[in-house]
Structure 1
Amino acid sequence: MSELYEALAPFYAELNGDVPYARMAEYVQKCFSSYFEGEVRDVLDLGCGSGNMTFPLLSLGYSMIGVDASENMLAEARDTRRGDEILWLCQDMRSFELYGTVEGVVSTLDCVNHLLRREDVLSCFSLVHNYLVPNGIFIFDVNTPYKFKHIYGENSYVLESESAFCVWQNFFDERRGRCHFAVDLFEENEKGLYERRSADREEQMYTPRQIRSMLEKTGFTVLSVTDDYTDSLPTETTERLTFVARANKEM
């Protein structure tokens, strides 16, 4: 899973420049204020990548921890302005360890879909629950079945930036609910020639009912399910669901 991210690390921000991270961070802040009784100080960004969500949350005043399985992505994050103000940990989201508890956990841009087995999701959710304070808030998103079937499907895409372009091919197995991505990244070198890097990854489709069941099984209460970091209810063509859940724990 981290092979693709390591190949994309220098260009991740360019290739994802249209993601509204600031708006997403403001939505997270609103949810923390609405659902947590007390002050949210410490927040974990799980599957943080190069910190595209971590830094906006830092700017909102939270003390941030970033966990990601790719050392290259974390190196990009550390080299960013204010990168030394964040604790970066190179760990797998299925088996991560923290030094203490946090009031909030976020995991954005379909990190949960990267967990290919329900056992992996349950392990991740259990650890999130373990490191949240009582009534702590977990906010994350998943790609919808609509996106897997109609946006991913068997489609191919070309993503371009000034210094790179990426050929992205999808192969969706509807029976297994799994999408295979073949990614070719072409990077311009100092001689003006393009060097090719290739990687594969997979994402697993989970229905809203399955996600809700796994949250409840690991000690969470689902507070809201909305359309992509907004207050709008999901529709049949929603591509990303945002879950907000509370950790049920004794004080």
Structure 2
Amino acid sequence: MNTYEKFAAVYDAIMDDSLYNQWTDFSLRHFPKDKKKLLELACGTGIQSLRFAQAGLKVTGFDLSQEMLNIADERAQTAGVDISFVQGNMLDLSSVGTFDYVTCYSDSICYMQDEVEVGDVFEQVYQHLKSGGTFIFDVHSTYQTDEVFPGYSYHENAEDFAMVWDTYEDEAPHSVVHELTFFIQDEDGRFTRYDEVHEERTYELLTYDILLEQAGFKKVQVYADFEDEAPTETSKRWFFVCEK
């Protein structure tokens, strides 16, 4: 795991803003309608937290990066929305209470080092969900990591920053490495270079099913690519809707 460091400064600029609407719509379709209290894991800079709060939910945002949370808190204050933001590692949710819903989007589960950590996250979520609560998360499909990502390259140029994002196949099955180089303009007009490496790994659908069952989840439904349809061989993003 990493803290995103300077990446927090340009994170919003390189994210596809339309994804937040899709995550919001998918969540609201699958949340029971009579509950309000939501924990958003890996909330980043708070855009999704704000969407959930504006939809009427009582939101707690949780993230490893304090830099991200500082931006998130400022965003919520500017919007006049009451959201609690907590810094921590989702391998240990002891600093938060219990919730009706827990979400973990933007393939954040794929940042866990191995399936043991993935299982530990599922167990933590189960412990902090109320009875009848719903846990929704998304991950990269094996098709995405094995066929789509290797050789992927993304370049972004803006007035005050530029970046290069290259993705390569990693050694472990269904894993990739994202190498990011970006240049951020300082107050004096000069550009400073920053480099980051992000490692992601996913697993077969059966592995996720087993880990969720071991954590205690008995009812799990799997969808793909923001739609209420079962995954296909070429689905890029898997969605899991788990009920406690």
Equivalent position of 1:22 in the other structure: 21
| Partner Cα separation in structure 2 for residue 222 and residue 154 of structure 1 | 37
| Partner Cα separation in structure 1 for residue 80 and residue 128 of structure 2 | 23
Secondary structure of the structure 1 residue equivalent to 2:31: helix
After TM superposition, list the pairs within 5 Å mapping 1:137-156 onto structure 2: 137-156=134-153
- Of the structure 1 ranges 168-177 and 73-82, higher mean CA displacement relative to structure 2 is found in 168-177
Q: Does 1:182 align with 2:179?
A: yes
Change (3 A) 1:219 1:18: same
**Cα offset for 1:127?**
0.7
Equivalent position of 1:119 in the other structure: 116
| Partner Cα separation in structure 1 for residue 7 and residue 81 of structure 2 | 22
- Of the structure 1 ranges 69-78 and 223-232, higher mean CA displacement relative to structure 2 is found in 223-232
The runs of 4+ residues in structure 1 deviating greater than 4 Å are: none
Give the structure-2-normalised TM-score. Answer: 0.92
Change (3 A) 1:212 1:72: same
How many residues align? The count is: 242
Equivalent position of 2:156 in the other structure: 159
Equivalent position of 2:169 in the other structure: 172
Equivalent position of 2:106 in the other structure: 109
| Partner Cα separation in structure 1 for residue 130 and residue 66 of structure 2 | 28
Q: Residue 65 of structure 1 contacts residue 86 of structure 1 at CA under 8 Å; is this kept in 2?
A: yes
Q: Does 1:97 align with 2:102?
A: no
Secondary structure of the structure 1 residue equivalent to 2:144: helix
Equivalent position of 1:50 in the other structure: 45
Equivalent position of 1:242 in the other structure: 239
* RMSD across aligned positions (CA): 1.8
Change (3 A) 1:142 1:83: farther
Secondary structure of the structure 1 residue equivalent to 2:6: helix
Letter in 1 for 2:13: E
Q: Gaps (5+ residues) in structure 1? A: none
Equivalent position of 2:9 in the other structure: 10
Q: Residue 67 of structure 1 contacts residue 90 of structure 1 at CA under 8 Å; is this kept in 2?
A: yes
Q: Residue 145 of structure 1 contacts residue 207 of structure 1 at CA under 8 Å; is this kept in 2?
A: yes
| Partner Cα separation in structure 1 for residue 153 and residue 219 of structure 2 | 35
Q: Does 1:233 align with 2:225?
A: no
**Cα offset for 1:181?**
1.7
- Of the structure 1 ranges 235-244 and 169-178, higher mean CA displacement relative to structure 2 is found in 169-178
Give the structure-1-normalised TM-score. Answer: 0.90
| Partner Cα separation in structure 2 for residue 76 and residue 91 of structure 1 | 16
Percentage identity across aligned positions? 27
- Of the structure 1 ranges 173-182 and 140-149, higher mean CA displacement relative to structure 2 is found in 173-182
